[in-house]
Amino acid sequence: MPRRNSKSEFVSLLGFLLIAVLLLTNGFAARISAEEKSVDVYREIEPIGVVLDTILREYVREVDMPKVVQGALIGMMGSLDRNSSFITAEDLEAMREDTKGEFEGIGVSIQPDADGNIMVFHPLPGSPAAAAGIRPFDKIIAIDGKSTKGMTTADAANLIKGPRGTTVNLTIHRKERNAAPEVQPEVLNFTVNRAKVPLESIKEAALLKGGVGYVRLSDFKDNSGRDLAKKLQEFLDQGMKAFILDLRWNPGGLLTASKDACELFLPKGALVTYTKGRTAIEGGPNKDDLRLLTENGPVLPDGLPVIILVNRNTASSAEIVTGSLQFHERALVLGEKTFGKGSVQTIIPMKTPQNTALRLTTALYYTPADVTIDHQGILPDIELAMTQEQEESLAKQMFESFKENPENQYHQNHGSMTEYPATDKTVEDIQLKRAVEVLGEDAVWGNLIKKYHRDVHETQMTAEAAEAAKTKEQAAAEKSESAPEKTEPSLPVPETKANPDAAPVPENTPTDAPKDGGAENTDSDFKEPVW
């Protein structure tokens, strides 16, 4: 076994960690100096060096230093908050593809079948795989001559994907779904050209009963706004009378993509959100603070009724869209309180370890109501919750509706609102059903807003304000319960009416909020945060 130079390894790793500290503090000596006024940074990290020295001297096996470094970085970032993290090279590449809305490959969805074989589930429409003739339920038995037996879907995907302009050879077993067990599969070979393949964020799209358009977005990518605009125009051409945007189970995505989506509904110049980061060293606003305003006119006609469906898994940029459209009275929100992720993460590339990055919380975002809903979420205008059991049963039914028929992937079974035969086992999507019912009550948008829209100071508030309101309600309830009952008859009291001129008192607007949305706040002038 080669002799280890523990001292050299220790010094190298400690030096690396010191560099990491500098990176996390923006690399400025002034920032370190400011921190030292309240805490001795170098003394605080001394235990890290002690632990590393102990590991190098006492650990029973040879130490994998890159693994130790990665573990230290993961722990360091994870200690900050629930959203900051260290991103490995593999995860960084996957994240770039996902948020960019495209990847290089052949555009085929794969999964294991009941016997563990790699099976094609769904070739993406217009993809190289679809153009080559690959079909759902084809079994991939070899990739470039390498058997897929015992291979995971991740391993197979890594072999199938590759730079555009190159090719991959797939050996396929094809057999009709209703063929007898003794029928042997047909063996086919496909040489497929790799290309840029767009990733879809629209998971479902259909024109429901009564001319109600319906789209479910899985997340917010670069192409989400364009795809949604195209689908809205298709529905309008078909006579759409109202629209439902389903953001349930949507974890968010790109901040700029939320602005792109809002532009389809709001007039030009409408505020979508603004962000506030850490106060600058000299005490002024953070140079990366931004204010997002819509830059184009809407695709959807003003006055066409809109409802957004949300649940406890609606988060980040999905909450930005929800909060903005709710504030501007351009959509009613139906469902339950959203997740409450009101922070922005910036991807900061690392020079070492190579091709890695930090996912660091750098700002909080604020809704147009001038509040951050971080750790609080947005309350719906129309509250209608589904239990975990109801959601799981609905999700299973939705999957089963296209499991055997991939062509139904964009038109899944939500119960009576979708055109599937009803049985005694049909699970009703009560939130979607209620949304369609509300939209059917009145064709005049203003009347629906007047009936259902709640004051945004009730639906959009900080976690602190929500807790204070809850405490106040509890105190009032306890006081009411402890008050003695009157046994003596009381004289009639003249009825009094509330002052109609009294205006509700809004929450205080942050004094250091961005004041305008000038040219310096355009998309091209800031680092694009990823959520």
- pLDDT by residue (tens digit) across 158-184? 899 899 999 999 999 998 877 788 888
Q: What is the mean pLDDT of the chain?
A: 83
- At 4 the pLDDT is 53
pLDDT digits (tens, 9 = 90+) for 393-446: 999 899 888 877 887 888 999 999 998 888 888 999 999 999 999 999 999 999
3-state secondary structure of 390: helix
pLDDT digits (tens, 9 = 90+) for 285-344: 777 788 999 999 999 999 999 999 999 999 999 999 999 999 999 999 999 999 999 998
pLDDT digits (tens, 9 = 90+) for 7-22: 555 555 555 555 555 5
Which has more confidence, 498 or 473? 473
Going from the C-alpha of 203 to that of each of 84, 224, 228, 257, 334, the distances in angstroms are: 28, 11, 11, 16, 20
pLDDT digits (tens, 9 = 90+) for 191-242: 999 998 878 889 999 999 899 999 999 999 999 999 999 999 999 999 999 9
3-state secondary structure of 442: coil
**In terms of Cα–Cα distance, which of 396, 219, 207, 381 is closest to 314?**
219
Range 103-197: architecture per CATH: Roll (2.30)
pLDDT digits (tens, 9 = 90+) for 53-98: 899 999 999 999 889 989 999 999 999 999 999 999 888 888 887 7
CA–CA dist 168, 497 (Å, integer): 78
- At 415 the pLDDT is 93
77, containing H or E segment: helix 65-78
CA–CA dist 27, 115 (Å, integer): 53
Average pLDDT, integer, range 486-505: 37
pLDDT digits (tens, 9 = 90+) for 338-396: 999 999 888 999 998 889 999 999 999 999 999 999 999 999 999 999 998 999 899 98
Distance between first and last Cα of the chain:
45
Please, are residues 137 and 120 in contact by the beta-carbon 8 Å criterion? yes
The strand pair at 102-105 and 195-198 is best described as antiparallel
- At 134 the pLDDT is 92
- At 352 the pLDDT is 86
Other CB atoms within 10 Å distance of the CB of residue 16: 15
CA–CA dist 104, 195 (Å, integer): 5
3-state secondary structure of 87: strand
The strand pair at 382-383 and 332-335 is best described as parallel
- At 200 the pLDDT is 82
Q: Which residue has the tokens 């994907």?
A: 161
Which has more confidence, 151 or 176? 151
3-state secondary structure of 239: coil
CA–CA dist 117, 427 (Å, integer): 31
CA–CA dist 18, 363 (Å, integer): 24
Which has more confidence, 519 or 350? 350
pLDDT beyond 80 at 496: no
CA–CA dist 98, 51 (Å, integer): 37
- At 472 the pLDDT is 79
pLDDT digits (tens, 9 = 90+) for 86-143: 999 888 888 887 776 677 899 888 888 878 889 998 888 788 998 999 988 899 999 9
If you compute the radius of gyration of the chain from its CA atoms, what whole number of angstroms results?
28
Please, are residues 244 and 436 in contact by the beta-carbon 8 Å criterion? yes
At 18, which amino acid appears? L
- At 471 the pLDDT is 82
Buried b / exposed e over 387-404, threshold 16 CB at 10 Å, is eeeebeebeebbeebbee
3-state secondary structure of 109: strand
pLDDT band for position 270 (cuts 50, 70, 90): very high
CATH superfamily, domain 81-101+199-475+514-531, is 2-enoyl-CoA Hydratase; Chain A, domain 1 (3.90.226.10)
66, containing H or E segment: helix 65-78
120, containing H or E segment: strand 118-123
Structural domain spans, the chain: 6-79, 81-101+199-475+514-531, 103-197
- At 437 the pLDDT is 97
Q: Which residue has the tokens 């599969």?
A: 185
- At 197 the pLDDT is 85
